[in-house]
Protein backbone atom coordinates (compact mmCIF):
# COMPACT_ATOMS: atom_id res chain seq x y z
CA UNK A 1 0.00 0.00 0.00
CA UNK A 2 2.79 2.44 0.76
CA UNK A 3 3.95 1.97 -2.83
CA UNK A 4 0.49 2.76 -4.09
CA UNK A 5 0.36 6.20 -2.49
CA UNK A 6 3.69 7.11 -4.06
CA UNK A 7 2.37 6.64 -7.59
CA UNK A 8 1.74 9.73 -9.66
CA UNK A 9 -1.84 10.28 -10.82
CA UNK A 10 -0.84 9.27 -14.36
CA UNK A 11 0.76 6.00 -13.19
CA UNK A 12 -2.08 5.27 -10.81
CA UNK A 13 -4.56 5.83 -13.65
CA UNK A 14 -2.62 3.42 -15.87
CA UNK A 15 -2.59 0.71 -13.20
CA UNK A 16 -6.30 1.18 -12.62
CA UNK A 17 -6.98 0.92 -16.35
CA UNK A 18 -4.88 -2.23 -16.55
CA UNK A 19 -6.85 -3.76 -13.71
CA UNK A 20 -3.74 -4.12 -11.54
CA UNK A 21 -5.42 -2.27 -8.72
CA UNK A 22 -8.99 -1.22 -8.00
CA UNK A 23 -10.34 2.26 -7.33
CA UNK A 24 -11.45 1.03 -3.90
CA UNK A 25 -7.87 -0.03 -3.09
CA UNK A 26 -6.57 3.34 -4.28
CA UNK A 27 -9.09 5.25 -2.18
CA UNK A 28 -8.48 3.07 0.87
CA UNK A 29 -4.70 3.46 0.65
CA UNK A 30 -5.02 7.25 0.59
CA UNK A 31 -7.60 7.27 3.40
CA UNK A 32 -5.17 5.16 5.45
CA UNK A 33 -2.38 7.60 4.71
CA UNK A 34 -4.58 10.52 5.78
CA UNK A 35 -5.39 8.68 9.01
CA UNK A 36 -1.69 8.06 9.53
CA UNK A 37 -0.22 11.52 8.94
CA UNK A 38 -2.94 14.15 8.95
CA UNK A 39 -2.81 14.45 12.70
CA UNK A 40 0.55 16.16 12.21
CA UNK A 41 -0.37 18.07 9.03
CA UNK A 42 -4.02 19.21 9.42
CA UNK A 43 -4.33 19.32 5.63
CA UNK A 44 -7.91 18.04 5.58
CA UNK A 45 -11.03 19.73 6.93
CA UNK A 46 -13.35 16.91 5.95
CA UNK A 47 -13.10 13.33 4.84
CA UNK A 48 -15.89 10.81 4.44
CA UNK A 49 -14.55 7.33 3.94
CA UNK A 50 -17.97 5.96 3.11
CA UNK A 51 -18.61 8.54 0.40
CA UNK A 52 -15.12 8.16 -1.12
CA UNK A 53 -15.29 4.38 -1.11
CA UNK A 54 -18.78 4.39 -2.60
CA UNK A 55 -17.57 6.62 -5.44
CA UNK A 56 -14.57 4.34 -5.96
CA UNK A 57 -16.77 1.26 -5.95
CA UNK A 58 -18.97 2.67 -8.67
CA UNK A 59 -15.90 3.30 -10.85
CA UNK A 60 -14.80 -0.30 -10.34
CA UNK A 61 -18.27 -1.50 -11.28
CA UNK A 62 -18.40 0.60 -14.41
CA UNK A 63 -14.98 -0.65 -15.44
CA UNK A 64 -16.01 -4.23 -14.77
CA UNK A 65 -19.06 -3.66 -16.99
CA UNK A 66 -16.71 -2.76 -19.83
CA UNK A 67 -17.37 0.99 -19.88
CA UNK A 68 -14.69 3.18 -21.50
CA UNK A 69 -13.37 5.38 -18.69
CA UNK A 70 -11.05 8.38 -18.68
CA UNK A 71 -7.31 8.23 -18.00
CA UNK A 72 -7.73 9.22 -14.36
CA UNK A 73 -10.82 7.16 -13.56
CA UNK A 74 -10.52 5.87 -10.02
CA UNK A 75 -7.72 8.26 -9.02
CA UNK A 76 -8.34 10.11 -5.72
CA UNK A 77 -8.40 13.90 -5.76
CA UNK A 78 -8.35 16.27 -2.79
CA UNK A 79 -10.60 19.30 -3.14
CA UNK A 80 -9.81 22.72 -1.75
CA UNK A 81 -12.61 23.70 0.58
CA UNK A 82 -13.44 26.74 -1.53
CA UNK A 83 -15.23 24.48 -4.04
CA UNK A 84 -18.72 23.38 -3.07
CA UNK A 85 -19.40 19.64 -3.08
CA UNK A 86 -22.53 17.61 -2.45
CA UNK A 87 -20.79 14.74 -0.68
CA UNK A 88 -18.91 16.68 1.98
CA UNK A 89 -19.37 20.02 3.77
CA UNK A 90 -17.76 23.23 2.47
CA UNK A 91 -16.44 25.89 4.83
CA UNK A 92 -13.85 27.90 2.87
CA UNK A 93 -11.84 27.71 6.09
CA UNK A 94 -14.34 29.98 7.87
CA UNK A 95 -16.47 29.63 10.99
CA UNK A 96 -19.26 31.45 9.22
CA UNK A 97 -19.77 28.41 6.98
CA UNK A 98 -19.14 25.75 9.61
CA UNK A 99 -21.12 22.64 8.68
CA UNK A 100 -22.46 24.19 5.46
CA UNK A 101 -23.64 21.55 3.02
CA UNK A 102 -23.98 22.60 -0.61
CA UNK A 103 -26.92 21.31 -2.63
CA UNK A 104 -24.80 21.22 -5.79
CA UNK A 105 -21.28 20.50 -7.02
CA UNK A 106 -19.01 23.21 -8.42
CA UNK A 107 -18.68 22.75 -12.18
CA UNK A 108 -14.99 21.76 -11.90
CA UNK A 109 -15.88 19.19 -9.23
CA UNK A 110 -18.67 17.80 -11.41
CA UNK A 111 -16.22 17.57 -14.31
CA UNK A 112 -13.74 15.69 -12.12
CA UNK A 113 -16.45 13.27 -11.01
CA UNK A 114 -17.57 12.74 -14.60
CA UNK A 115 -13.96 11.85 -15.45
CA UNK A 116 -14.05 9.25 -12.68
CA UNK A 117 -11.92 11.05 -10.08
CA UNK A 118 -12.78 10.18 -6.49
CA UNK A 119 -13.17 12.97 -3.91
CA UNK A 120 -10.88 11.90 -1.06
CA UNK A 121 -11.50 14.95 1.15
CA UNK A 122 -11.78 18.71 1.45
CA UNK A 123 -8.55 20.54 2.12
CA UNK A 124 -7.71 23.21 4.65
CA UNK A 125 -7.07 26.75 3.46
CA UNK A 126 -6.70 30.31 4.64
CA UNK A 127 -10.11 31.70 5.53
CA UNK A 128 -11.87 32.58 2.26
CA UNK A 129 -8.48 32.10 0.58
CA UNK A 130 -7.11 35.26 2.18
CA UNK A 131 -3.56 34.61 3.19
CA UNK A 132 -0.20 33.24 2.17
CA UNK A 133 0.49 30.86 5.03
CA UNK A 134 -2.71 28.95 5.80
CA UNK A 135 -2.63 30.40 9.30
CA UNK A 136 -5.83 32.40 8.81
CA UNK A 137 -7.88 29.19 8.60
CA UNK A 138 -10.49 29.06 11.36
CA UNK A 139 -9.64 25.37 11.71
CA UNK A 140 -5.98 25.66 12.56
CA UNK A 141 -2.81 26.01 10.55
CA UNK A 142 -1.51 23.39 8.14
CA UNK A 143 2.02 22.09 8.71
CA UNK A 144 4.54 21.74 5.93
CA UNK A 145 5.43 18.08 5.34
CA UNK A 146 9.07 19.11 4.69
CA UNK A 147 9.32 20.63 8.15
CA UNK A 148 6.37 20.49 10.50
CA UNK A 149 7.39 23.74 12.18
CA UNK A 150 6.93 25.64 8.93
CA UNK A 151 3.92 26.93 7.02
CA UNK A 152 2.89 25.13 3.83
CA UNK A 153 2.10 28.43 2.08
CA UNK A 154 -1.36 29.70 1.32
CA UNK A 155 -4.06 29.97 0.72
CA UNK A 156 -4.07 26.45 -0.68
CA UNK A 157 -1.68 24.99 1.89
CA UNK A 158 -3.92 22.01 2.58
CA UNK A 159 -4.00 20.91 -1.05
CA UNK A 160 -0.25 21.38 -1.51
CA UNK A 161 0.63 19.61 1.76
CA UNK A 162 -1.74 16.73 0.97
CA UNK A 163 -0.09 16.16 -2.39
CA UNK A 164 3.46 16.48 -1.04
CA UNK A 165 2.73 14.10 1.85
CA UNK A 166 1.15 11.43 -0.39
CA UNK A 167 -2.32 11.89 1.08
CA UNK A 168 -3.59 12.45 -2.47
CA UNK A 169 -1.88 12.35 -5.86
CA UNK A 170 -3.88 15.30 -7.12
CA UNK A 171 -5.63 18.33 -5.67
CA UNK A 172 -7.75 21.29 -6.62
CA UNK A 173 -6.63 24.79 -5.81
CA UNK A 174 -7.73 28.35 -6.43
CA UNK A 175 -5.38 31.16 -7.34
CA UNK A 176 -6.30 34.81 -6.91
CA UNK A 177 -2.86 36.15 -6.12
CA UNK A 178 -0.74 33.01 -5.97
CA UNK A 179 -2.66 30.56 -3.81
CA UNK A 180 -1.89 27.56 -6.00
CA UNK A 181 1.63 28.45 -7.11
CA UNK A 182 3.11 29.66 -3.80
CA UNK A 183 2.01 26.66 -1.68
CA UNK A 184 3.18 24.36 -4.47
CA UNK A 185 6.59 26.04 -4.33
CA UNK A 186 6.70 25.83 -0.52
CA UNK A 187 5.91 22.11 -0.44
CA UNK A 188 7.93 20.96 -3.45
CA UNK A 189 4.77 20.33 -5.49
CA UNK A 190 3.68 21.51 -8.93
CA UNK A 191 0.92 24.11 -9.16
CA UNK A 192 -0.86 25.53 -12.16
CA UNK A 193 -3.35 28.31 -12.71
CA UNK A 194 -4.60 28.81 -16.23
CA UNK A 195 -5.56 31.80 -18.30
CA UNK A 196 -8.32 33.75 -16.55
CA UNK A 197 -11.63 32.20 -17.63
CA UNK A 198 -10.18 28.86 -18.71
CA UNK A 199 -11.75 26.96 -15.80
CA UNK A 200 -15.28 27.53 -14.54
CA UNK A 201 -15.62 29.45 -11.29
CA UNK A 202 -19.21 28.27 -10.79
CA UNK A 203 -19.41 26.81 -7.31
CA UNK A 204 -16.07 28.28 -6.27
CA UNK A 205 -16.78 30.59 -3.36
CA UNK A 206 -15.97 33.97 -4.84
CA UNK A 207 -13.26 36.12 -3.34
CA UNK A 208 -12.01 38.61 -5.94
CA UNK A 209 -13.96 37.61 -9.02
CA UNK A 210 -11.81 39.43 -11.56
CA UNK A 211 -8.72 37.55 -10.32
CA UNK A 212 -9.97 34.17 -9.04
CA UNK A 213 -9.06 31.10 -11.04
CA UNK A 214 -9.47 27.41 -10.21
CA UNK A 215 -6.50 25.18 -10.99
CA UNK A 216 -4.52 22.13 -10.02
CA UNK A 217 -1.76 20.90 -7.76
CA UNK A 218 0.11 17.59 -8.05
CA UNK A 219 3.58 16.10 -7.75
CA UNK A 220 4.35 16.28 -11.48
CA UNK A 221 3.74 18.65 -14.37
CA UNK A 222 1.96 15.88 -16.30
CA UNK A 223 -0.48 15.29 -13.44
CA UNK A 224 -1.45 18.96 -13.24
CA UNK A 225 -1.91 18.89 -17.03
CA UNK A 226 -4.19 15.86 -16.79
CA UNK A 227 -6.43 17.62 -14.26
CA UNK A 228 -6.44 20.85 -16.28
CA UNK A 229 -7.54 18.87 -19.33
CA UNK A 230 -10.57 17.73 -17.38
CA UNK A 231 -11.60 21.10 -15.98
CA UNK A 232 -10.74 23.56 -18.78
CA UNK A 233 -13.54 24.64 -21.05
CA UNK A 234 -16.62 26.78 -21.36
CA UNK A 235 -19.35 26.82 -18.72
CA UNK A 236 -22.58 28.73 -19.32
CA UNK A 237 -22.92 29.14 -15.53
CA UNK A 238 -19.87 31.41 -15.37
CA UNK A 239 -20.16 34.62 -17.37
CA UNK A 240 -16.37 35.05 -17.42
CA UNK A 241 -15.80 31.55 -18.80
CA UNK A 242 -13.90 31.52 -22.07
CA UNK A 243 -15.25 29.89 -25.17
CA UNK A 244 -12.00 28.46 -26.40
CA UNK A 245 -10.84 25.11 -27.72
CA UNK A 246 -7.93 24.12 -25.48
CA UNK A 247 -5.32 21.75 -26.84
CA UNK A 248 -4.41 18.67 -24.80
CA UNK A 249 -2.22 19.87 -21.94
CA UNK A 250 -1.18 16.30 -21.15
CA UNK A 251 0.07 15.89 -24.72
CA UNK A 252 2.05 19.13 -24.29
CA UNK A 253 3.57 17.88 -21.03
CA UNK A 254 4.49 14.52 -22.56
CA UNK A 255 6.07 16.25 -25.51
CA UNK A 256 7.95 18.57 -23.15
CA UNK A 257 9.42 15.71 -21.18
CA UNK A 258 11.53 14.92 -24.26
CA UNK A 259 13.43 18.16 -23.59
CA UNK A 260 13.09 19.36 -27.17
CA UNK A 261 11.12 22.56 -26.49
CA UNK A 262 14.01 24.28 -24.70
CA UNK A 263 16.16 24.74 -27.79
CA UNK A 264 15.71 28.27 -29.05
CA UNK A 265 13.09 29.06 -26.40
CA UNK A 266 13.26 32.72 -25.43
CA UNK A 267 13.09 32.95 -21.65
CA UNK A 268 12.49 36.36 -20.11
CA UNK A 269 13.97 37.28 -16.76
CA UNK A 270 12.07 40.20 -15.30
CA UNK A 271 14.32 42.79 -13.76
CA UNK A 272 11.61 43.71 -11.25
CA UNK A 273 11.20 40.09 -10.14
CA UNK A 274 14.90 39.45 -9.58
CA UNK A 275 14.35 40.56 -6.03
CA UNK A 276 17.34 41.90 -4.19
CA UNK A 277 15.80 40.83 -0.93
CA UNK A 278 15.19 37.26 -2.04
CA UNK A 279 16.59 34.45 0.07
CA UNK A 280 20.12 33.50 -0.96
CA UNK A 281 19.53 29.76 -1.22
CA UNK A 282 16.43 30.30 -3.34
CA UNK A 283 18.27 32.68 -5.64
CA UNK A 284 21.12 30.19 -6.03
CA UNK A 285 18.68 27.48 -7.12
CA UNK A 286 17.03 29.85 -9.57
CA UNK A 287 20.35 30.81 -11.14
CA UNK A 288 21.24 27.15 -11.47
CA UNK A 289 17.94 26.47 -13.22
CA UNK A 290 18.54 29.34 -15.64
CA UNK A 291 22.00 27.98 -16.39
CA UNK A 292 20.43 24.59 -17.11
CA UNK A 293 18.08 26.24 -19.58
CA UNK A 294 20.84 28.04 -21.43
CA UNK A 295 22.86 24.83 -21.55
CA UNK A 296 19.91 23.31 -23.39
CA UNK A 297 19.93 26.07 -26.00
CA UNK A 298 17.38 28.45 -24.49
CA UNK A 299 18.00 32.13 -24.97
CA UNK A 300 17.79 34.27 -21.86
CA UNK A 301 16.55 37.83 -22.29
CA UNK A 302 16.36 40.42 -19.54
CA UNK A 303 13.08 42.30 -19.66
CA UNK A 304 11.80 45.41 -18.00
CA UNK A 305 8.29 45.64 -16.56
CA UNK A 306 8.37 48.97 -14.72
CA UNK A 307 4.85 48.78 -13.28
CA UNK A 308 5.28 45.47 -11.45
CA UNK A 309 6.58 47.57 -8.61
CA UNK A 310 3.00 48.70 -7.89
CA UNK A 311 1.41 45.28 -8.32
CA UNK A 312 1.22 44.36 -4.62
CA UNK A 313 -0.22 47.75 -3.63
CA UNK A 314 -2.80 47.66 -6.42
CA UNK A 315 -3.72 44.04 -5.73
CA UNK A 316 -4.29 44.73 -2.05
CA UNK A 317 -6.82 47.41 -3.02
CA UNK A 318 -8.60 45.53 -5.80
CA UNK A 319 -8.71 42.31 -3.85
CA UNK A 320 -10.29 43.69 -0.67
CA UNK A 321 -12.68 45.84 -2.75
CA UNK A 322 -14.02 42.83 -4.61
CA UNK A 323 -13.87 40.54 -1.59
CA UNK A 324 -15.81 42.95 0.63
CA UNK A 325 -18.60 42.97 -1.95
CA UNK A 326 -18.55 39.21 -2.43
CA UNK A 327 -18.63 38.53 1.31
CA UNK A 328 -21.73 40.69 1.81
CA UNK A 329 -23.79 37.60 1.08
CA UNK A 330 -22.80 36.07 4.41
CA UNK A 331 -25.58 37.92 6.14
CA UNK A 332 -26.72 35.31 8.70
CA UNK A 333 -29.86 34.69 6.66
CA UNK A 334 -28.84 32.76 3.60
CA UNK A 335 -25.94 30.58 4.71
CA UNK A 336 -24.25 29.09 7.70
CA UNK A 337 -23.84 30.66 11.10
CA UNK A 338 -26.50 32.76 12.83
CA UNK A 339 -25.90 34.24 16.23
CA UNK A 340 -27.08 37.14 18.40
CA UNK A 341 -30.56 38.53 18.88
CA UNK A 342 -32.62 41.64 18.29
CA UNK A 343 -33.14 43.32 14.94
CA UNK A 344 -32.00 41.84 11.63
CA UNK A 345 -29.08 44.25 11.70
CA UNK A 346 -28.11 43.21 15.22
CA UNK A 347 -28.11 39.55 14.23
CA UNK A 348 -26.21 40.21 11.02
CA UNK A 349 -23.59 42.22 12.80
CA UNK A 350 -23.20 39.71 15.65
CA UNK A 351 -22.94 36.85 13.16
CA UNK A 352 -20.32 38.54 11.03
CA UNK A 353 -18.36 39.59 14.12
CA UNK A 354 -18.34 36.01 15.40
CA UNK A 355 -18.04 34.23 12.07
CA UNK A 356 -15.21 36.08 10.34
CA UNK A 357 -11.58 35.99 11.42
CA UNK A 358 -9.21 38.97 11.73
CA UNK A 359 -7.75 38.86 8.21
CA UNK A 360 -11.18 38.70 6.59
CA UNK A 361 -12.41 41.61 8.70
CA UNK A 362 -9.30 43.59 7.85
CA UNK A 363 -9.98 43.17 4.14
CA UNK A 364 -13.70 43.92 4.41
CA UNK A 365 -12.90 47.18 6.18
CA UNK A 366 -10.14 48.07 3.71
CA UNK A 367 -12.24 47.16 0.69
CA UNK A 368 -15.33 48.98 1.86
CA UNK A 369 -13.23 52.06 2.49
CA UNK A 370 -11.53 51.84 -0.92
CA UNK A 371 -14.94 51.71 -2.60
CA UNK A 372 -16.62 54.44 -0.56
CA UNK A 373 -17.85 57.68 -2.10
CA UNK A 374 -15.06 60.20 -2.43
CA UNK A 375 -12.30 57.59 -2.25
CA UNK A 376 -13.27 55.33 -5.10
CA UNK A 377 -11.20 57.12 -7.76
CA UNK A 378 -8.17 57.60 -5.57
CA UNK A 379 -7.98 53.95 -4.55
CA UNK A 380 -10.00 51.49 -6.62
CA UNK A 381 -9.81 53.64 -9.77
CA UNK A 382 -6.06 54.07 -9.56
CA UNK A 383 -5.51 50.41 -8.80
CA UNK A 384 -7.44 49.54 -11.96
CA UNK A 385 -5.13 51.83 -13.92
CA UNK A 386 -2.09 50.08 -12.48
CA UNK A 387 -3.64 46.82 -13.56
CA UNK A 388 -3.84 48.05 -17.15
CA UNK A 389 -0.20 49.17 -17.00
CA UNK A 390 0.86 45.74 -15.76
CA UNK A 391 -1.04 44.12 -18.61
CA UNK A 392 0.81 46.39 -21.04
CA UNK A 393 4.15 45.51 -19.45
CA UNK A 394 3.40 41.84 -20.03
CA UNK A 395 2.25 42.46 -23.60
CA UNK A 396 5.50 44.24 -24.37
CA UNK A 397 7.58 41.58 -22.68
CA UNK A 398 5.91 38.80 -24.63
CA UNK A 399 6.88 40.51 -27.87
CA UNK A 400 10.47 39.63 -26.92
CA UNK A 401 10.13 36.30 -25.12
CA UNK A 402 8.10 33.07 -25.17
CA UNK A 403 7.95 32.54 -21.43
CA UNK A 404 8.90 34.52 -18.35
CA UNK A 405 10.74 32.76 -15.52
CA UNK A 406 11.13 33.88 -11.92
CA UNK A 407 11.21 32.50 -8.42
CA UNK A 408 7.64 31.56 -7.46
CA UNK A 409 8.22 33.28 -4.11
CA UNK A 410 11.14 35.35 -2.84
CA UNK A 411 11.67 33.00 0.10
CA UNK A 412 11.09 29.42 1.11
CA UNK A 413 8.37 28.52 3.63
CA UNK A 414 8.83 30.43 6.87
CA UNK A 415 8.29 29.24 10.45
CA UNK A 416 4.73 29.02 11.69
CA UNK A 417 3.74 32.21 13.46
CA UNK A 418 6.61 34.28 12.10
CA UNK A 419 4.58 36.75 10.00
CA UNK A 420 1.25 36.43 11.74
CA UNK A 421 1.41 39.83 13.41
CA UNK A 422 2.78 41.51 10.31
CA UNK A 423 0.32 41.21 7.43
CA UNK A 424 2.44 43.51 5.25
CA UNK A 425 5.36 41.10 5.36
CA UNK A 426 3.12 38.30 4.13
CA UNK A 427 1.55 40.52 1.44
CA UNK A 428 4.98 41.45 0.08
CA UNK A 429 5.84 37.77 -0.34
CA UNK A 430 3.15 37.69 -3.06
CA UNK A 431 5.07 40.15 -5.28
CA UNK A 432 6.14 37.39 -7.67
CA UNK A 433 2.78 35.68 -8.11
CA UNK A 434 0.37 38.63 -8.21
CA UNK A 435 1.32 40.08 -11.63
CA UNK A 436 0.01 36.99 -13.47
CA UNK A 437 -3.39 37.36 -11.80
CA UNK A 438 -3.52 41.07 -12.57
CA UNK A 439 -3.01 40.30 -16.26
CA UNK A 440 -5.07 37.10 -16.36
CA UNK A 441 -2.19 35.08 -17.80
CA UNK A 442 -1.29 31.47 -16.96
CA UNK A 443 1.38 30.54 -14.41
CA UNK A 444 3.06 27.30 -13.40
CA UNK A 445 5.28 26.57 -10.41
CA UNK A 446 7.56 23.55 -10.27
CA UNK A 447 10.23 22.51 -7.77
CA UNK A 448 13.87 23.06 -8.73
CA UNK A 449 15.65 21.94 -5.56
CA UNK A 450 15.99 22.92 -1.93
CA UNK A 451 17.60 26.00 -0.40
CA UNK A 452 20.98 25.34 1.23
CA UNK A 453 20.26 27.30 4.41
CA UNK A 454 17.01 25.58 5.42
CA UNK A 455 16.55 22.51 3.22
CA UNK A 456 13.13 23.77 2.12
CA UNK A 457 11.86 23.42 -1.47
CA UNK A 458 12.29 26.25 -3.98
CA UNK A 459 9.83 26.79 -6.83
CA UNK A 460 10.41 28.12 -10.31
CA UNK A 461 7.56 30.10 -11.82
CA UNK A 462 6.87 30.16 -15.54
CA UNK A 463 4.40 32.56 -17.13
CA UNK A 464 3.13 32.72 -20.72
CA UNK A 465 0.74 34.95 -22.67
CA UNK A 466 -3.01 34.37 -22.24
CA UNK A 467 -4.21 31.26 -24.09
CA UNK A 468 -0.67 29.84 -24.25
CA UNK A 469 -1.23 27.53 -21.29
CA UNK A 470 0.07 24.51 -23.23
CA UNK A 471 3.43 26.24 -23.62
CA UNK A 472 3.84 26.19 -19.84
CA UNK A 473 3.18 22.46 -19.64
CA UNK A 474 5.64 21.82 -22.46
CA UNK A 475 8.36 23.99 -20.94
CA UNK A 476 7.64 22.93 -17.36
CA UNK A 477 7.85 19.24 -18.19
CA UNK A 478 11.15 19.83 -19.98
CA UNK A 479 12.63 21.56 -16.93
CA UNK A 480 11.20 18.91 -14.61
CA UNK A 481 12.94 16.21 -16.68
CA UNK A 482 16.25 18.08 -16.35
CA UNK A 483 15.86 18.36 -12.59
CA UNK A 484 15.08 14.64 -12.35
CA UNK A 485 18.12 13.87 -14.45
CA UNK A 486 20.32 16.11 -12.28
CA UNK A 487 19.08 14.62 -9.00
CA UNK A 488 18.73 11.05 -10.23
CA UNK A 489 15.20 10.95 -8.80
CA UNK A 490 12.00 12.97 -9.23
CA UNK A 491 11.94 15.90 -6.81
CA UNK A 492 8.86 14.66 -4.94
CA UNK A 493 10.55 11.34 -4.18
CA UNK A 494 12.93 13.13 -1.80
CA UNK A 495 10.09 14.42 0.41
CA UNK A 496 10.45 13.41 4.07
CA UNK A 497 8.71 10.14 4.84
CA UNK A 498 6.57 11.39 7.76
CA UNK A 499 4.40 8.59 9.08
CA UNK A 500 4.03 7.24 12.56
CA UNK A 501 7.56 8.07 13.68
CA UNK A 502 7.06 11.81 13.21
CA UNK A 503 3.37 12.01 14.12
N1 LIG B 1 -1.84 35.61 -0.66
C2 LIG B 1 -2.78 36.27 -1.51
C3 LIG B 1 -3.86 36.89 -0.67
O4 LIG B 1 -3.81 36.78 0.50
C5 LIG B 1 -3.33 35.33 -2.53
C6 LIG B 1 -4.54 34.59 -2.13
C7 LIG B 1 -5.09 33.70 -3.20
O8 LIG B 1 -4.52 33.53 -4.29
N9 LIG B 1 -6.25 33.16 -2.93
O10 LIG B 1 -4.75 37.50 -1.17
pLDDT (0 to 100) of residue 2: 62
pLDDT above 90 covers a percentage of the chain that reads 90
Average pLDDT, the chain: 95
Q: How far is the CA of 430 from the centre of ligand 1 (A)?
A: 8
Residue range 442-468: mean pLDDT, rounded: 98
Q: Which of 137, 177, 362 to mutate to test the pocket of ligand 1 (most atoms within 8 A of CB)?
A: 177
Between the CA of 434 and the centroid of ligand 1 the distance, in Å, is 8
The residue whose CB lies within 8 Å of the most ligand 1 atoms, and thus the one to mutate among 430, 432, 437, is: 430
- The pLDDT of residue 146 is above 90: yes
501 pLDDT band, cuts 50/70/90, is very low
The closest residue, in CA terms, to atom 4 on ligand 1 is 131
Evaluate whether residue 76 is within a structural domain.
yes
Of ligand 1's atoms, which has the minimum distance to the CA of residue 316? 10
- Contact status, residue 221 vs residue 253, Cβ threshold 8 Å: yes
**130 Cα nearest atom in ligand 1:** 4
- Which atom of ligand 1 lies nearest, measured to the CA of 437? 8
Confirm or reject: Cβ of 437 under 6 Å from ligand 1: no
In short, whether 131's Cβ falls inside 6 Å of ligand 1 is yes
- For ligand 1, is residue 132 a contact (CB within 6 Å)? yes
Tell me if 179 CB under 6 Å of ligand 1.
yes
pTM of the model: 0.97
CA-proximal residue: ligand 1, atom 10 (nearest): 130
Residue with the smallest CA separation from ligand 1 atom 5 is: 177
Which atom in ligand 1 lies closest to the alpha carbon of residue 132? 1
Q: Which of 155, 359, 427 to mutate to test the pocket of ligand 1 (most atoms within 8 A of CB)?
A: 155
| Cα 482 from Cα 471, distance rounded (Å) | 17
For the segment 262-273, the average pLDDT, to the nearest whole number, is 92
278 lines ligand 1 (CB under 6 A): no
pLDDT of residue 251: 98
pLDDT in the model for residue 259:
75
177 lines ligand 1 (CB under 6 A): yes
Mutate which of 179, 316, 364 for ligand 1 pocket (most atoms within 8 A of beta carbon) = 179
Average pLDDT over residues 279-303: 96
**Percent above pLDDT 70 for the chain:** 99
197 φ/ψ sector (left φ>0, alpha ψ -120 to 50, else beta): left
Nearest atom in ligand 1 to the alpha carbon of residue 315 is 10
Query: 395 or 333: which carries more pLDDT confidence?
Result: 395
Q: Region 427-439: what's the mean pLDDT?
A: 95
User: How does residue 1 score in pLDDT terms, banded at 50, 70 and 90?
Assistant: very low
Identify the domain containing residue 233 by its residue range. Answer: 2-260+444-494
DSSP string, 421-449: T-HHHHHHGGGGTHHHHHHT--EEEEEEE
Query: Is 162 a domain residue?
Result: yes
Mean pLDDT across 361-389: 93
Between the CA of 156 and the centroid of ligand 1 the distance, in Å, is 9
Cα–ligand 1 centroid distance for 173 (angstroms): 12
- Asked if the structure places residue 435 within a domain, the reply is no
Band of pLDDT at residue 129, cut at 50, 70 and 90:
very high
Residue 150 lies in a domain: yes
Domain presence at residue 173: yes
Nearest CA to 2 out of 502, 428, 445, 500 is that of 500
Task: Annotate 209-244 with b (16+ C-beta within 10 A) or e (fewer).
Answer: bbbbbbbbbbbbbbbbbbbbbbbbbebeebeebbee
Q: Using 50, 70 and 90 to split pLDDT, how confident is the model at 199?
A: very high
Ligand 1 pocket residue status of 129, Cβ below 6 Å: yes
> Per mean pLDDT, which range of 113-127, 415-429, 483-497 is the poorest?
415-429
Long-range contacts of 483-489 (CB under 8 A, 24+ apart): 483/289, 483/446, 483/447, 483/448, 483/449, 486/292, 487/449
Does some domain include residue 299?
A: no
Q: Please measure the distance between the N-terminal and C-terminal CA atoms of the chain and give it in whole angstroms.
A: 19
Distance between CA atoms of 102 and 172, rounded to whole angstroms? 17
* pLDDT in the model for residue 500: 56
The residue whose CA has the least distance to atom 2 of ligand 1 is 177
144 CA from centroid of ligand 1 (Å)? 18
As a whole number of angstroms, the distance between CA 88 and CA 71 comes to: 25
CA of 132 to the centre of ligand 1 (A): 6
Residue 407 in domain? no
* Mean pLDDT calculated for residue range 40-47: 98
pLDDT band with cut points at 50, 70 and 90 for residue 503: very low
> Is pLDDT larger for residue 292 or for residue 275?
292
Q: Provide the 10 A C-beta neighbour count for residue 485.
A: 11
Q: Tell which atom from ligand 1 comes closest to the C-alpha of 174.
A: 9
The CATH number that applies at residue 44 is: 3.90.1300.10
- H or E segment to which residue 324 belongs: helix 311-326
Tell me the catalytic residues: 80, 155, 179
- CA distances, 179 to each of 25, 174, 204 (Å): 31, 6, 14
Looking at 136-180, list the stretches that DSSP marks H as alpha helix, in order from N- to C-terminal side. 157-164
Least Cα distance to 383 among 443, 312, 327, 466 occurs for 312
Residue 158 and residue 184: Cα distance in Å, rounded? 10
pLDDT per position as a tens digit, 151-170: 999 999 999 999 999 999 99
| pLDDT-wise least confident of 56-70, 110-124, 418-432 | 418-432
Ligand 1 atom, smallest distance to 176 CA: 8
502 pLDDT more than 70? no
Tens-digit pLDDT profile for residues 217-236? 999 999 999 999 999 999 99
Residue 179 CA, ligand 1 centroid: distance in Å: 5
Q: How many domains does the chain have?
A: 1
42 assigned to some structural domain: yes
Decide whether any atom of ligand 1 lies within 6 Å of the 175 Cβ.
Answer: yes
Amino acid sequence: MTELIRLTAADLGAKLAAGEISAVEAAQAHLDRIAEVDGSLNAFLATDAEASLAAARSIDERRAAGEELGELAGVPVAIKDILVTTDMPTTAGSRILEGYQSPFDATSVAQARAAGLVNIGKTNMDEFAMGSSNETSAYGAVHNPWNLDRIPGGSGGGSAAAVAAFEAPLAFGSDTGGSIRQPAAFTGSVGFKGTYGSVSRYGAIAMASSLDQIGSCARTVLDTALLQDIISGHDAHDSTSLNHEWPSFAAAAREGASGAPLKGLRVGLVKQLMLDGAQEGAKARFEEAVAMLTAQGAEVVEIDTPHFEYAVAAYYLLHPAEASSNLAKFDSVRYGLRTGQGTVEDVMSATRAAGFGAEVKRRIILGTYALSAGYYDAYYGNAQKVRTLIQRDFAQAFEQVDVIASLTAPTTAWELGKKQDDPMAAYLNDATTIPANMAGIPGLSLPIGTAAEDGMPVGLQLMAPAYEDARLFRTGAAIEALITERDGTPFWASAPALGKATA
